[in-house]
Chain A
Amino acid sequence: MNSNWLDAITERLTRDVARRTSRRGFLGAFGAAIVGGAALPVLPVARADAAEGQPAPPEQDPGDPTTCEYWRNCAIDGYLCSCCGGTANTCPPGTEMSPITWIGTCRNPGDGKDYIISYNDCCGKTSCGACFCNRNERDRPIYRAGTANDYNWCLGTKSLAYHCTVTLILGTATKPI
Chain B
Amino acid sequence: MDFCINLVKQDRAVRTLAGAALLLLAAAVPASADLPVEPIGVTEKLPARWPDTWIQAHDINFYALSDGKVVIFDVAAENRNYKGSISAAQFASFIASTTRPEIYVAETYYSQRVRGTRHDVITVHDKSTLAPVAEIPLPGGKRGQYVTFKNTLQLLNDENWLAVYNFSPAATVSIVDVAARRIIGEASVAGCAMIYPTGTRNFMSLCSEGVMLVTALAETGAVAKQWRTPAFFNADDDPLFAMPTMIGRMAYFPTFHGNIQPLDLSGDEPKVLLRWSLLNDADRKANWRPGGWQIAAAHRSGRLYVLMHPDGYNGSHKNGGPEVWVFDVGSGKRVARHVLKNRGVSIEVTSGAQPYLVVTNDSFQLDVYDAGDGKWLRMFGDHAVTMPMVLHAVQ
Q: List 28 A-B contacts (CB under 8 A).
A: A4-B320, A5-B345, A7-B362, A9-B62, A9-B387, A13-B63, A35-B170, A35-B171, A38-B207, A38-B208, A39-B208, A126-B65, A134-B318, A136-B315, A136-B317, A137-B315, A139-B315, A142-B193, A142-B194, A143-B208, A144-B239, A145-B169, A154-B145, A155-B168, A158-B115, A160-B108, A160-B118, A161-B90
Residues of B within 8 A of A151 (CB): 144-146, 167, 169
On A, residues with C-beta under 8 Å from B are: 2-5, 7-9, 12-13, 24-26, 31-32, 34-40, 74-75, 100, 124-127, 129, 132, 134-145, 150-152, 154-155, 158-162
CA distance A150 to B241 in the complex (A): 12
Q: Which of these, A35, A127, A143, contacts B169 with CB under 8 Å?
A: A35
Please tell me if the beta carbons of A144 and B208 are within 8 angstroms of each other in the complex: yes
Q: Are A140 and B191 in contact (CB under 8 A)?
A: no
On whether A144 and B115 interact (CB within 8 A), knowing A38-B191, A40-B208, A126-B66, the answer reads no
Given the interface pairs A36-B170, A129-B63, the reply to whether A8 lies near B314 with Cβ below 8 Å is no
**C-alpha spacing A91/B272, complex, angstroms:** 45
Return the 5 tightest CB-CB contacts between A and B, nearest first: A38-B191, A36-B190, A5-B362, A161-B114, A152-B145
A-B contact count (CB 8 A): 152
Residue of B nearest to A125 (CB): B114
Q: B108 near A143 (CB under 8 angstroms)?
A: no
Scan B144-175; emit 1 where CB is below 8 A from any A CB, else 0: 11110100000000000000000111110000
Contacts of A159 in B (CB 8 A): 110, 114-116, 118
Contacts of B205 in A (CB 8 A): 143
Bound together, the chains give a CA A118 to CA B290 distance in angstroms of: 28
Chain A nearest CB from B249 CB (Å) reads: 21
Residues on B facing A (Cβ under 8 Å) = 62-66, 90-91, 108, 110, 113-116, 118, 144-147, 149, 167-171, 188, 190-194, 205-209, 235-236, 239-242, 292, 309, 314-320, 343, 345, 361-364, 387, 389
Q: List, in ascending order, chain A residues with CB within 8 A of B242's CB.
A: 141-143
Q: Which residues of B contact A161 (CB under 8 A)?
A: 65-66, 90, 110, 114-115
**A116 CB to closest chain B CB, in angstroms?**
17
CB A8 to nearest CB in B, in angstroms, measures 5
Report the minimal beta-carbon distance from A3 to chain B, rounded to whole angstroms. Answer: 6
Could you tell me if A37 and B62 are in contact, using CB atoms closer than 8 angstroms?
no
- Min distance, Cβ B57 to any Cβ of chain A, angstroms: 16
Chain B residues whose C-beta falls within 8 Å of the C-beta of A3 in the assembled complex:
309, 319, 343
**Cβ-closest chain A residue relative to B193:** A143
Set of chain A residues within 8 Å of B362, measured between Cβ atoms: 2, 5, 7-8
Contact partner of A143 (CB less than 8 A), chosen from B64, B207, B343, is B207
Question: Of B64, B145, B317, B320, which one neighbours A126 at CB under 8 angstroms?
Answer: B64
Query: For residue B207, which residues in chain A have a CB less than 8 angstroms away from its CB?
Result: 38, 143
B193-A25 in contact (CB<8A) = no
Q: Do B114 and A141 have beta carbons less than 8 Å apart? A: no
Residue pair B317, A144 in contact (C-beta under 8 Å): no
Q: Are B191 and A35 in touch, CB under 8 angstroms?
A: yes
**Distance, CA A127 to CA B235, complexed state (A):** 31
**What is the minimal beta-carbon distance from B24 to any residue of chain A, in angstroms?**
48
Q: Is the CB of B208 within 8 A of A5?
A: no
CB <8 Å contact, B315 and A138:
yes
State the CA gap A159–B315 with chains docked (Å).
30
Given A8-B363, A39-B209, residue A24 in contact with residue B147 (CB < 8 A): yes
